[in-house]
Structures are given as C-alpha cells and as structure tokens.
Structure 1
Amino acid sequence: MGIPLWTREKVAARILAGENLFILRDQVIRIPQSWLEAHPGGALAILHFVGRDATDEVSAFHSDDTQRRMKGYAVGAVEVGDYGWEPLLPPVMSGWVRKMGKDGKQRWYNEASTVHSSVNTERSPSSQILLVKADSFAAELEGPTLESLQCGPSPLSAKTQAQHSAAYKALHKRVTDAGLFKTRYITGYGPEVVRYTMFATIAAIAYSKGWLVTSAFFLGLFWHQLTFTVHDLGHLGVTHVWTIDRLIAIFLADFFGGLSVGWWVDVSILLLKFIIFC
C-alpha cells in the first residue's frame, strides 16, 4: 500500500499543528524534533524550507545514502503540477518558532514581526520579508494562521522558477557526471600536505636554532594554509562523510589552530542566512 495523497491544505494544517514538513520529489517528509536538533547544517536550514519544495537543496547538500534514508520519513505524497509545488511560507520566516513551554509541551512563540516592501518592484519585491526582533515575547495561544502561510506576490513567475530549477538540475548532472564532486586525494590534497609539512618543518628547525621571528613567520604560514583544508572539512568537502570530516577538522583546527571548528561552522551558517524569497 502506497503513501496517501495529501492536499496543499492538509500540509498547511499539519504545519500549523506544529509539524515540520517539506517536499522532496513529490513526497511529504516529516522531520522529527530529534532530527531537527541534530541536523549538521543547523535547525534553521530545515525550518526555512518548511512547506516548501527542498528537492534541489537536498540534492546539492546531501549524499545519496542520506537521501535514501529520508524516504523513510515520508508521510504523504503531493501533486506538484507542471511548474512545481506551490510553496507555503515557513512559519520561521514570519517570526514564529516552536519552543518548550513551562508545561513541558511545544508551543508557538512569536519572536519577531514582519515588514514587507510597500511596493512590488524587481529591486524591492513585496515577497521580500524583513524580520524585526520583538523586545519581549511569550507563548501565543493560537500561533501562525493559514493566511500567514501564504506567500506574497513574487517578481518571478512559477514558470520561470521551474525553468531555473530545471537548469540547475541539468548543471548538477553535468558536474556529477564529470566527476567534479569526487575528491582527488593524491593530486588535490597531496601537494597541500607537502606544503604544510614543509612550513611546519622550517618553523621547527628555525625555532631550534633560536631564529624566533623566522620560526613564527613559517608557523603562521602553516596555520594560515591549514585553515583552507579545515574550511573544506567543515563543509564536508573532503571525504563527504560528516563524522570523518568533522573528526579530522577537530584535530587540525582545535589542536593545531586553537579554533573550535564546531563554533566556526555554526557561525558560518548563521552568516549565510539572508532574506529568502518565497
């Protein structure tokens, strides 16, 4: 027996009830709270796609194995139409978040108010949303409404957005088929390891001879160059396995550089958050 067919209204109703749902290849994926809290990309990366089609983003940032596992969280199917799924506005984009209340239950909190453009131009579309943090907030009795989940007008038509998505998929396939996502350990990171070793060796020799300025210079080069590899590891760009890349990054960044790679990844994700068009 296949999974049931859901309407857009049912998806919206379940989101208003507090469920985190997104669309993945015409299937409705339900994200458990435990998954939301443990997501390597942070909770906001998921919350900003609640009610939306996240197929392109999931394909770009997740391994094939992870995507296969996601199918186990499908609770329904939807009809996406010729121009794709008609998106809902994620509650977090209008300032609504779910938090644990004093009674131990998850409740809606309104942490910010929304400000929309008063005009609808290419430079300032009315779909653009600016969140203004509230001075204080408390649990709300009702939470977001069906009306608040509706997207405003966009300067891009559904047809144009579908064309952009199709163009991205074609480009992604070309890059994948060319093997550009595969890490070249010998020709790619081999020269890097040689360079790091050379800088570290020169720094150690200079220090042993009392040439402190020279030692400090090459030690700085060693640390500076090492950050590029840590950057790749932080973005799962080396082995593409979260556990392995993170452990290597912790060893290099925390012990050699004195920098918490977990903190850096979290901060970089926050810096990449910008105004999202629906």
Structure 2
Amino acid sequence: MGRGSQQTDPASGGAGQGAGVFTWEEVQKHSHKGDQWLVIDRKVYNISQWVKRHPGGLRVISHYAGEDATDAFRAFHPQPAYVRKFLKPLLIGELAASEPCQDHQKSETVIQDFRALHDQVEKMGLFRSSPLFFCMYLGHIILLEALALLLLWNFGAGWVTFFACSVLLATSQAQAGWLQHDFGHLSVFRNSFWDHLVHQFVIGHLKGASANWWNHRHFQHHAKPNVFQKDPDVNMINAFVVGEVQPVEYGIKKLKYLPYNHQHKYFFLSTIQVLFSVFPLWRIYVSVHSSCLIIWVRFVPRRQINVSAAPFLIVCVFRFMESHWFVWVTQMSHIPMNIDYEKHDDWLTMQLKATCNIEASAFNDWFSGHLNFQIEHHLFPMMPRHNYRHAAPLVEALCKKHGLPYTVKPLWTAFSDIVSSLQKSGEMWLDAYLHK
C-alpha cells in the first residue's frame, strides 16, 4: 500500500509512470506549494510543476491539492477526454483498492448519488444550450442600448433624458454582465473556443473589464465557495468581517480596520468600491463604448457638452447604478450563508452550504440573469442558465433524500438577509473585541 511513494519522486512530475499505489494519507501529504498531488477518478496525479501551466490558473487547481478533484474536474471541463491527454504524463499511480473513493471521510453515498444525478441531467440534454434564447437575450441588450442612444439623439442632453438614458444603459450593462458570465462558464457554444472569444468581446468591450481577471477570480470562487483563503469573493480586504468565524477571530486579535459593528450600514456604500475595483474608471473611459461615441457625434459639434467630461460623467452614473445591481444580486446568495475555513466537504455539501436559491419568476430570472438558481449554477457551472429550472426539482429531491438543506428565499428576504447577516457578524466582532 505504501510502495507508490517509494517508486515516484514527487518533484519529478511523475513522468507518466502510473505504477504507484497510494493511500489517502500519502496523497494528503502532498498539498503544499511546489509539492502537489490530486486524485481524479481514483487516479493519482503529480501536478507540482504543471500547475503553472494550467489554463485555468495556478490557484484554482492548487485548491484541490491533496484531495479528490473528480467533481471539480467534471464541473469545469467541457471536453474531459481531451483534457485527460494532458493529465496522462502526470499520472503517477492510483489509490489502493482498500482505500475509499473520497478523502477526509466524505459520504460515499452522497457523492455517488450526485454523480449519478450529473449523468442524468447530461443524458436529459440539460447541458445543451438554446441558440434562440441567447440570440434573443443579446437582442434585448442591443435594444436597450439603442433606446438610450435614440433618446440622446432626439431629445438632447437634458436632465430627464440624462436620467432615462442612464437607467437604460445601467440595465443593458447589468444584463451584459450576466451574458458575459454565460460565455465565461463555456455554457453557450459547443466549442469552447467560441465561448472564450465572445467572452473576451462582451466583458472587454461592453464591460471594460478583463476576461483573464474574471476567470482567475471567478473559478476560484466556484471551486471553493465561501472558503477563506481560497474564495477571493470573501476576501473583503478588511472592509467587512463575514460569517461567524472571522468576526470572532478579528475581535480576539483586536483588529479594527473599520467599525465593523456598523458594517451593515456602510455596506450600502460598498458599490463605490465595486465601481473602482471591478470596473476601473480608466478602463471604462478608454473603452470604445457606443454611448460615449454617440454623445461625441451628436453633441460636441453643437458645443452642447464638454468634450472630455460628458462621456466620463454618463458612464460613471450608469456604472454606479449598475454596481448596486451587481452587488446585491451576487451577494444575496452567498454572504448570508456559511463562510468558514476549509472543511474538505464533498462537492454537493460544499455548494449547498455556500449558496441558496431565490424564488423563480419571470422577473427574478431576468433581474438576476438566472442566478436566482444559484445552487444549480454552482453544482453545474457549465449548464446553460435556461435549463436551471429543469434541473432544480432533481437537485431538491436529492437534497431531501440525504437530509441536506436546499434553501429558497423570496427576493426581498434575500436582500434583507445580506444586511442582517452583516449586522450579526458586526455584533459578534464587537462582543469579541470588547470581552475576549
């Protein structure tokens, strides 16, 4: 059982020998920078040197060092057979026959049932997208932009027109944000090349952000949601303390970068941070956006607006409105949920702890870009969003079978839970700060 570790030098990359037989105890020893193994379908791979060449980034694959990465591998790779060709040289062996399929005493029954569900929804065709849906979705974004530009063209730069135009552009930009999310998750085209290409265009041109930056952060979030030191979305750069563990930790250490007992109040200003960090103004200003161009073409020759200030101002206004939309929708399914350090849960349990759904309705689906089905999205990130509602009853039935929580909330309850959870965390911090 231990002979595999004698046959393979961890620093060598494995050389594709595949001759070793390992225990979980041996695999888990290799979970450090420069010495990383992981398991996929009971095969053991030495990824120590290869992580730097991983197309999805160094960190997302490193988060599974020393663990079973089978479900994460299936969740993120649309062509697993093709990817395995790159894994083959890294193969150093397999788990001993006496070893369980999972590390850290995870529930084998839950894992096998989830994998059976994954196969079931795949056979049902729920990973196939509808071209009509995405064409109509893109069309309604273009229509919103066109309406905004027509308002400017026909009615000038008055305050009423300016406000109406900002609302329309904020709406189109929010919806473009959900659309880039679809392409980023490779859930639209059958060939991932086209998903990557269109993603670069939508997020780069319409959003003024970087596709590589988004991929680097967002896939880490999906791989280990709400896990400190692994999910960048819960790295609040000391502006907030979240969950029930971090507030006490900060309080005991007497860390007070901000008055966290008031964080539920200044959360309403956090969208300003998003405006500057997620969509830096310099990127927005230099991006070739149609609204900026039409302002120049329509009004500059008549000296109705300042050449440099007007495009900058209108983009700032609708980006600020959009940032509120973005923050509330993206945080309603995560901040009120469990946030903790690594617990090595199985894929299904981990995602259910960190996510919740919002009630389905035509408005909620549109408003959130179908991210109200956050559970299904996290379990099957490559599933086209229009199929979430078909997968939801199957996921709920599986959760009921194993006694796992499947949380669904009304939209306004989800919004208020953000504030109440931040208030609770702030109070926990203050108590620990003063009394521990």
Comparing 75-84 and 44-53, the one that deviates more = 75-84
Match of 1:48 among 63, 82, 89: 63
> How far is the alpha carbon of 1:12 from its aligned partner?
5.6
1:176 equivalent in structure 2: 122
What are the equivalent positions in structure 2 for 1:224-239 lying under 5 Å apart? 224-239=174-189
Cα deviation per residue 1:77-113 (whole Å; 9 max; x = unaligned)?
22253732445xxxxxxxxxxxxxxxxxxxxxxxxxx
> How far is the alpha carbon of 1:11 from its aligned partner?
4.1
1:246 equivalent in structure 2: 196
Q: Which consecutive residues of structure 1, in runs of 5 or more, have no partner in the other structure?
A: 88-157
SS at structure 2 position matched to 1:52: coil
SS at structure 1 position matched to 2:129: coil
1:31 equivalent in structure 2: 47
Matched-pair contact (CA < 8 Å) for 1:58–1:67: no
CA distance in 2, matches of 1:16, 1:270: 17
CA distance in 1, matches of 2:216, 2:343: 23
> How far is the alpha carbon of 1:253 from its aligned partner?
1.8
SS at structure 1 position matched to 2:45: strand
1:108 equivalent in structure 2: none
> Is 1:196 aligned to residue 141 of structure 2?
yes
CA distance in 1, matches of 2:45, 2:342: 21
Q: Which consecutive residues of structure 2, in runs of 5 or more, have no partner in the other structure?
A: 1-15, 228-340, 345-436
What are the equivalent positions in structure 2 for 1:83-98 lying under 5 Å apart? 83-87=100-104
Distance 1:243 1:38, change over 3 A: farther
2:206 equivalent in structure 1: 256
Matched-pair contact (CA < 8 Å) for 1:42–1:266: yes
Distance 1:219 1:48, change over 3 A: closer
CA distance in 1, matches of 2:91, 2:130: 35
Paired residue type of 1:75: I
How many residue pairs are counted as aligned between the two chains?
205
Matched-pair contact (CA < 8 Å) for 2:30–2:66: no
Q: Give the % identical residues.
A: 22
Matched-pair contact (CA < 8 Å) for 1:22–1:50: yes
Comparing 36-45 and 22-31, the one that deviates more = 36-45
Matched-pair contact (CA < 8 Å) for 1:26–1:80: no
CA distance in 1, matches of 2:144, 2:196: 24
Paired residue type of 2:148: A
> How far is the alpha carbon of 1:59 from its aligned partner?
1.6
CA distance in 2, matches of 1:224, 1:15: 39
> How far is the alpha carbon of 1:242 from its aligned partner?
5.1
CA distance in 2, matches of 1:71, 1:179: 29
What are the equivalent positions in structure 2 for 1:1-278 lying under 5 Å apart? 3-8=18-23, 11=27, 18-33=34-49, 35-63=50-78, 64=80, 65-81=82-98, 83-87=100-104, 158=105, 161-186=107-132, 188-211=133-156, 212-213=161-162, 214-239=164-189, 243-269=193-219, 272-274=225-227, 275-278=341-344
CA distance in 1, matches of 2:175, 2:33: 49
Distance 1:76 1:175, change over 3 A: same
Matched-pair contact (CA < 8 Å) for 2:28–2:67: no
CA distance in 2, matches of 1:168, 1:267: 26
CA distance in 1, matches of 2:165, 2:32: 60
Matched-pair contact (CA < 8 Å) for 1:238–1:245: yes
Paired residue type of 2:62: L
Distance 1:231 1:208, change over 3 A: same
Compare the two structures and name the one with the higher strand fraction: 1
CA distance in 1, matches of 2:213, 2:18: 40
CA distance in 1, matches of 2:206, 2:218: 20
SS at structure 2 position matched to 1:203: helix
CA distance in 2, matches of 1:53, 1:80: 15
Matched-pair contact (CA < 8 Å) for 2:37–2:47: yes
After superposition, the CA RMSD in angstroms is 2.9
Task: Return the TM-score normalized by structure 2.
Answer: 0.42
Compare the two structures and name the one with the higher helix fraction: 2
1:145 equivalent in structure 2: none
Matched-pair contact (CA < 8 Å) for 2:102–2:108: no
